[in-house]
Structure 1
C-alpha cells in the first residue's frame, strides 16, 4: 500500500481548518472569496489523487515486467541417459616405485685412483659399456710379472718331468700323482693362480654396466681414490618398475595375481600407467595389512625409482544404475539428482550405495531411461526451464 502526500502551505491549512476566517456576515465579497478557495482546494486534491494513482500503476507495471524477465531466464545444462552398466569398485592405496632390475656397483680395489669417468647421472647406458676406469699401470705391470712367472714355472715343470725320464709333451702316460707333485715343486700351480688373479684385477679395474639402464648415484670425481666402503654408482633398468603397497585384510578376496591396476604418480597427476598385480604376500601384519606388488612399464621414462604413487585396483560390479558424481547435488542436506522432462528440470531425492572417484550407484529415486542433468545443475530449482547444450 502506498501513501500519497499532498503538500499545503500554512495559510491553506489554516483556511481549511478554520474557514470562518474568510467569512463575515456583513461582507458578500468575503463569501465569494471563500467559495473560490474551496473550489481551488478541491481541484488540487483531485489532481494529487490522480497523480498517486498513476505512480502506483507505473510501479505495478515495472514489477510485473521484472518478474516476467526473471521467469524467462533459461539455464544451460548437459544431460545423459541413465542405464544399467558396470560399476568399478575401487581399492585405493599408496606406494613407492622401485626398479625391477637395479645393481649397485663398486670397484674391487681402492688402491688405484679413478682415471676416467665416462658417464653422468641420468645418462642411458647399454650392457657391457664402461662407466669408469682405474689407473691400470700397476695392474698391467703385475699381469706381465705373472705371465713371466708362469713361463718360468712351466720350464721348471718340464725339467722335472724330463729328469725322471718322462716325455714332457706326453702327459697321458705320466702317473697323475707324480704330475701333481711336479707342479707343486715347480711352482706351476701357483703361477697359474697368480696369472688368473692379475688378469681378473685388470678386468675389474673397468666398471661395466651389467644390463641396459640409466646411471644413478654417481658422485665420485676422476683422479681420486674410489670409495672403499661405498657404492661407486648404481645402474637402474627403468623400462619396467614395480610398486609395493598394502591393502586391508578384508580386501584380500577382491584382488588376485594378474589383475589390472592403475598407477598415478603424484608428480604427474594427469598421467596414469596400467600395471599388473604380480605378488600377494600371504601374511597379515600386526596392523591388519597385506603387502602387494604390481609391475608396470615405463615407456616414456617419466617414472623414476622412489616416486610416490597412487594405486587403484578395480573390481567390476555388473548391472548397476551408475551416475557421475557431478550429477548429485545437496538440497536441505539431502542428495538430489535433477532429471529432464519436457524442457523442465525435475527434482528427485535419491539414495546411493557404493562410490568411486568418478561415480555413484543409485539404489532409489531414479529409473533406467531417465535423462539426468550432470552439468549446470548447481543452482537449479524444481520445474526450472532448461536448454540442453553439447
Structure 2
C-alpha cells in the first residue's frame, strides 16, 4: 500500500513541475525588435518632392460654336418663288439665297417713279416764279441750294423721292442674300410657301474659325487670363491634339457661380458647331512644392505623404493645394527634395519596414 502512495505522489510532483514550466514560458514577453525582424519589408517605389513651376489644370465643358454665325431672316411678306441653296452648301457674301414674288413691289416702284416726275415738273414751274433768284448771276451757290430745298419741299419733290427710295428698298428685300461667307445650315422654308417679315430662312455658319464657350467656377477665374493655352477634347472622341487660346472672359458671375470663358480654336480638325467638348485650361503656378499624385494617400479623411528614414516609412500629415492629375501641390507638412513613397503606400503604417525597388519617374 505504501508503494502505491509513493507512486501517486511522484505523478503529482511531475504534473506540478510541468505546469510551472508552462506558466514561466507564457509569462516571458517577446521583444518588439524581434517582432519587427519577422515582418517582411514592403517593396516600394519612390520619387522626390520638387519646388518648380506647376501647371494647374482647370476643366470645363461647353459647346463648339462658329465665330461668325448669322441667321438669315425675311424682311417683307410674300411668296417664296425660288430657293437656290440647300443645307451644306458653301456660299459667298452677297450670294442670292432665295427670291420672293415682287410683282406688287415693281408696281409700287413704277408708281413712285411717275409721282417723282410729276413733282419735279411742279418744282421746275415754281422756279420760274423767282427770276430774281435763279436768273441773277450774283446769287451764290449756297443761296441757290437753299432755295432748291425750299421749293422741292413745297412742290412735294422731297416726299416723292422718299417714296421712290422705299419702293426700291422693297424690291431689294425681295432678293434674300447671304450676309456673310460660310456654309448653309437649318433651312426653314420651302419654295412656294408664304413667308412673313421676321421668318427664318436659314443659318450661315463660317467654319473658317471655331470657338468654344465654357463655364468656369468663380473660384478658378483668378487663374485665367487672355492668351492662356487650352486643350480641347470632343465628348464624341476621335480628335486629339486640338489646341485653343483664351480670347475673352465675361466680367460677370451667373446665378450658379460660373463665369463664361471664350476659347479660340487654333486647329479645328473635324469639329462642327454644336458639338459638346471638354476644355483643359493650363494655369501655370510659379515656385510650388509638388509631389507625384500617387504619393498622397488619405487616412481618416486627412492627406498623408510617406517619407523614408532608416529604411522605414515615416507618416507625414500634409496640407494639399491644387491638383493637375499628375502632380499635387503641397502647401505645408513637407520640404523640397525629400524622398517620398509613390507605390504600395495605401496600407503602410508608420515606421513600417520598406524595401526600395527603384526610384519612380
TM bracket (short chain): 0.5 to 0.7
Q: How far apart in 2 are the matches of 1:369 and 1:291?
A: 39
Gaps of 5+ in 2: 1-44, 347-353
Q: Return the offset for 1:199.
A: 1.5
Q: Return the offset for 1:329.
A: 9.4
Structure number, greater radius of gyration = 1
Q: How far apart in 2 are the matches of 1:110 and 1:190?
A: 24
| Alignment check: 8 A CA contact 1:280 1:290 kept | no
For residues 173 and 278 of structure 1, do their structure 2 counterparts lie closer, same or farther at Cα, with a shift above 3 Å needed? closer
Other structure's SS at 1:232 match: strand
Q: Return the offset for 1:87.
A: 2.4
RMSD: 4.8
For residues 164 and 247 of structure 1, do their structure 2 counterparts lie closer, same or farther at Cα, with a shift above 3 Å needed? same
| Alignment check: 8 A CA contact 2:46 2:356 kept | no
For residues 221 and 284 of structure 1, do their structure 2 counterparts lie closer, same or farther at Cα, with a shift above 3 Å needed? closer
Aligned residue in 1 for 2:55: 88
Pair 1:138-2:104 in alignment: yes
Aligned residue in 2 for 1:159: 125
Q: Return the offset for 1:243.
A: 0.8
Pair 1:125-2:96 in alignment: no
How many residue pairs get aligned? The number is 302
Pair 1:291-2:282 in alignment: no
Q: TM-score, normalised by structure 2?
A: 0.62
Aligned residue in 1 for 2:151: 182
| Alignment check: 8 A CA contact 2:72 2:179 kept | no
| Alignment check: 8 A CA contact 2:64 2:271 kept | no
| Alignment check: 8 A CA contact 2:288 2:329 kept | no
Between Structure 1 and Structure 2, the one with more strand by share is 2
Match for residue 116 of structure 2 among 138, 145, 150: 150
Q: How far apart in 2 are the matches of 1:278 and 1:89?
A: 19
Aligned residue in 1 for 2:40: none
Other structure's SS at 2:194 match: coil
Aligned residue in 2 for 1:218: 187
Larger relative contact order (Cα-Cα within 8 Å, sequence gap ≥ 6) = 2
| Alignment check: 8 A CA contact 1:82 1:372 kept | no
Aligned residue in 1 for 2:326: 358
Gaps of 5+ in 1: 1-77, 340-345
Q: How far apart in 2 are the matches of 1:328 and 1:269?
A: 33
Q: Return the offset for 1:221.
A: 0.8
- Residues 79-110 of structure 1 deviation map (CA, whole Å, 9 limit, x = unaligned): 99987653222222333344433322212111
| Alignment check: 8 A CA contact 2:61 2:276 kept | no
| Larger mean Cα displacement after TM superposition, 119-128 or 351-360 | 351-360
Q: How far apart in 2 are the matches of 1:185 and 1:295?
A: 59
Q: TM-score, normalised by structure 1?
A: 0.58
Q: Return the offset for 1:286.
A: 5.1
| Alignment check: 8 A CA contact 2:108 2:167 kept | yes
